[in-house]
Amino acid sequence: MQVVAVPCLKDNYAYLVIDAGRAVVVDPSEAAPIEAALAANNVTLGAIWATHHHWDHTGGIADLVAAHPGIDVVIGATDADKVKVAFTRTVNDGDEVAFGSLRAKVIHNPGHTLGAVTFLVEGCAFTGDTLFCGGCGRVFEGDAGMMHGALMKLAALPDDTKIYCGHEYTASNLKFAAAVEPDNAAIATRLAALVTPSVPSTMAEERATNPFLRAADPAVISAAAAKGSQPDPVSVFAAIREWKNNFK
């Protein structure tokens, strides 16, 4: 299995997941860069997996299906009716999605949207706008407890899990992380070594540097307390998410 990041729009990533000459595309926001990447890699399109319903993750689906009729189009069950796309399958937590010899596991991550999912295949996690490299998505449809729970589910993945997220926001995410934890050397090191594209990161890096996975860490609890937060992880998560929403 090979993963190719395909930059789309201003700062989105779609991904080709290539197996035996065929590709799944994850989160095609627009069709043209995907068609170019398919041609450049000499592979045919076999399926589309959408991590959530937002237009900048699904906007290219109709054109791709028109050009490649009959392919599977997969999305989390709760998000399927939020966008006008003829999905062929909706999935729930723990479902398996097959593609050739590959088997992806579906992890339901409500919070950014209620039906957001991560596709986990061969140690690669396609997290959409739930977990970013160094950050997390905004809580648009769920609440802080839901989003924190979703992130904790992802944080339980093995250290070497590769994180392929939906946007290139890593530099600004790590600058915020450094503001939350000025004494965390791993954040400073990661920021100094940052290159674009920053995907994939690893879950070990995220656990060490991503403040949204660190709501139980004393330094993050203390930074949140300075913003008026209680010390429990959901309150800490909510406080740093609110802080990040207004961080320049």
Looking at the Cβ atoms of 129 and 168, the one nearer to Zn ion is 129
Strands 89-91, 12-19: parallel, antiparallel or unpaired by DSSP? unpaired
112 catalytically annotated: yes
30 near Zn ion, rule: CB under 5 A: no
Looking at the Cβ atoms of 58 and 201, the one nearer to Zn ion is 58
Query: Is residue 245 packed enough to be buried (19+ CB in 10 Å), middle (13-18) or exposed (0-12)?
Result: exposed
53 near Zn ion, rule: CB under 5 A: no
Spatial CB neighbours of 35, under 8 Å, sequence gap ≥ 6:
64, 67
241 near Zn ion, rule: CB under 5 A: no
Candidate segments 18-26, 34-42, 50-58, 232-240, binder of Zn ion by CB under 5 A: 50-58
Candidate segments 54-62, 74-82, 205-213, 223-231, binder of Zn ion by CB under 5 A: 54-62
Q: How far is the CB of 242 from Zn ion (least distance, A)?
A: 18
160 catalytically annotated: no
141 near Zn ion, rule: CB under 5 A: no
Question: What's the rounded Cα separation, in Å, for the pair 118 and 230?
Answer: 30
Residue 75 three-state SS: strand
| Identity of the residue numbered 164 | Y
* DSSP H stretches of helix in the chain: 32-40, 55-58, 61-67, 144-155, 170-180, 185-192, 203-209, 218-225, 233-245
Question: What's the rounded Cα separation, in Å, for the pair 78 and 222?
Answer: 36
129 near Zn ion, rule: CB under 5 A: yes
206 near Zn ion, rule: CB under 5 A: no
Candidate segments 65-73, 85-93, 125-133, 206-214, binder of Zn ion by CB under 5 A: 125-133
190 near Zn ion, rule: CB under 5 A: no
Candidate segments 1-9, 35-43, 46-54, 88-96, binder of Zn ion by CB under 5 A: 46-54
Among 54, 68, 108, 241, binds Zn ion (CB under 5 A): 54
Question: What's the rounded Cα separation, in Å, for the pair 82 and 240?
Answer: 28
Alpha carbon separation from 24 to 67, 83, 118, 206 (Å, rounded): 15, 20, 14, 25
Rg of the chain over all Cα atoms, to the nearest angstrom = 18
Looking at the Cβ atoms of 54 and 244, the one nearer to Zn ion is 54
Looking at the Cβ atoms of 17 and 165, the one nearer to Zn ion is 165
Q: Which residues are catalytic?
A: 52, 54, 56-57, 112, 129, 167
Contacts with Zn ion, residue ranges (CB under 5 A): 54, 129
